[in-house]
Amino acid sequence: MAGKGDKSMRCLDLLRRNSNILIIHILVLAGLCALPFFLSDYYRMLAIESIILAVFAMSLDLIMGYAGIASFGHAAFFGVGGYALGVIIKYITPSIWLAFLVVPVICGLLAFIIGVISIRARGIYFAIMTLAFAEVLYRIIFHTHALGGSDGLIGIAVPNLNLAIFKLDLKRPINFYYVAVVFAYLSYLVCFRLVESPFGRVLKGIRDNEDRVSFLGFNVTHYKVIAFVVSGIFAGWSGALFSLFKTFATTEQLHFLLSGKVIVMNLIGGLGTLLGPMVGAVFLTFFETILSSYFAAYHIIIGAIFIVVVIFLPKGLFGLILGFRKGK
């Protein structure tokens, strides 16, 4: 499987080898492209939000499902990505491309620092370390007036997306929807390529038996930190897109409730499947929004879902389906 071809070529190669998968990809993309024509504006907005959150959930799956390290502060990258985009567009220059170049640098660096320090702790300790880091960031941003404090960074004017030939007006939900779909699809391809690469195999090895991988001569810490940085970058990107969509960045994007929620999205969908967490994110986002319009205390039901998933479906809905297929 080793090879050093161009990334997109490799993906195409993988697809070509499995024409069934190619057909599925095309069908899903076609479905996603056709979807907004059947949706009202309200559901279009919801669809955009859930697609962005799907990428966020997938970014966590990279480390939690593949490397087996559970981050309980993943919202930190989501939030910092959002704030970084907000600051760049509001105060520096209204360029989405620039923001999307700077956000991975900031989030990657942040993930590197947090990763290097936290990775010394294993399992549940790592989870709580990341939670602590996320809380520090949450509090710092919450108390920084330049970033809007508890109100959040509001009023991010959405610039047009410059696509060389023409400028895409992102204020129209339908355009934003397609941008989100393209973003999610590309992110998925990159992550899929990553987990299927030799690097991904080492990660899975770490998940299954960390000591053995290190006996085989791999530097486990390096692999974990790199995976954490990649995961942080994708979380940052999705957070940036989220803030662009909402036209504001709030401290809620960094809150530990979101960190917990994104883990549950992963669990609902099934860890270590990439697609599962995305489906889980879409499911939870839709479910939560629809539920909240009928029932003010919907957190009770969301909490109950968490409990049911954890007790009865630790492999997730997706895992359940895969399990049946394998005849488990």
Partner 1 sequence: MLEYVIYVLAPQIIHGLVWGIVIALIALGLTIVFGVMDVVNFAHGEFYMLGAFCGYSLLFIIHNFWLAIIMAGIAVGLMGFLIEMAMFRPLYGRDPIFHLLLTFGLGMILRETARLIWGGETRRVEAPVMGTIDFLGITYPLYRLMILGIGILILVGIWYILTKTEAGVTLRASSQDRQMSWALGINVARVYTFTFVTGVALAAVAGVLMSPIYFVYPTMGIDAILRAFIVVIIGGMGSIAGAVVASLLIGQVESLASLWISPTWAETLVFVVLIVTMVVKPTGLFGRKGR
Q: Which residues bind partner 1 (CB under 8 A)?
A: 70, 72, 117-118, 120-125, 127-129, 131-133, 135-136, 139-140, 142-143, 256, 260, 263-264, 267, 297, 299-300, 302-307, 310-311, 314
Q: Which is nearer to partner 1, 127 or 213 (CB)?
A: 127
- Rounded to the nearest 5 percent, the helix, strand and coil shares of the chain are 75, 0, 20
Closest CB 240 distance from partner 1, rounded Å: 25
Q: Considering only CA atoms, which of 155, 87, 74 is closest in space to residue 115? A: 74
Q: Considering only CA atoms, which of 258, 266, 198 is closest in space to residue 226? A: 198
Q: Which is nearer to partner 1, 179 or 262 (CB)?
A: 262
Closest CB 139 distance from partner 1, rounded Å: 5
Closest CB 311 distance from partner 1, rounded Å: 5
DSSP assignments along 35-65, one per residue: GGGGS-HHHHHHHHHHHHHHHHHHHHHIIII
Question: Residue 193 burial by CB count (10 A; 0-12/13-18/19+): exposed, middle or buried?
Answer: middle
Closest CB 64 distance from partner 1, rounded Å: 9
Closest CB 316 distance from partner 1, rounded Å: 12
User: Residue 172: CB partners within 8 Å, gap ≥ 6?
Assistant: none
Using only C-alpha atoms, what is the Rg of the chain?
19
Closest CB 132 distance from partner 1, rounded Å: 5
Q: Which is nearer to partner 1, 36 or 68 (CB)?
A: 68
Q: Considering only CA atoms, which of 14, 24, 32, 6 is closest in space to residue 195? A: 14
The interaxial angle of helices 19-34 and 173-196, nearest 10 deg, is: 160
Q: Which is nearer to partner 1, 196 or 288 (CB)?
A: 288
Closest CB 257 distance from partner 1, rounded Å: 8
Q: Which is nearer to partner 1, 170 or 302 (CB)?
A: 302
Q: Considering only CA atoms, which of 38, 32, 33, 79 is closest in space to residue 56? A: 79
Instruction: Yes or no: say if 291 and 301 are a contact pair by the CB < 8 Å rule.
Output: yes
- Report the distance separating Cα 301 and Cα 7, nearest Å: 42
Q: Which is nearer to partner 1, 187 or 259 (CB)?
A: 259
Q: Which is nearer to partner 1, 197 or 292 (CB)?
A: 292
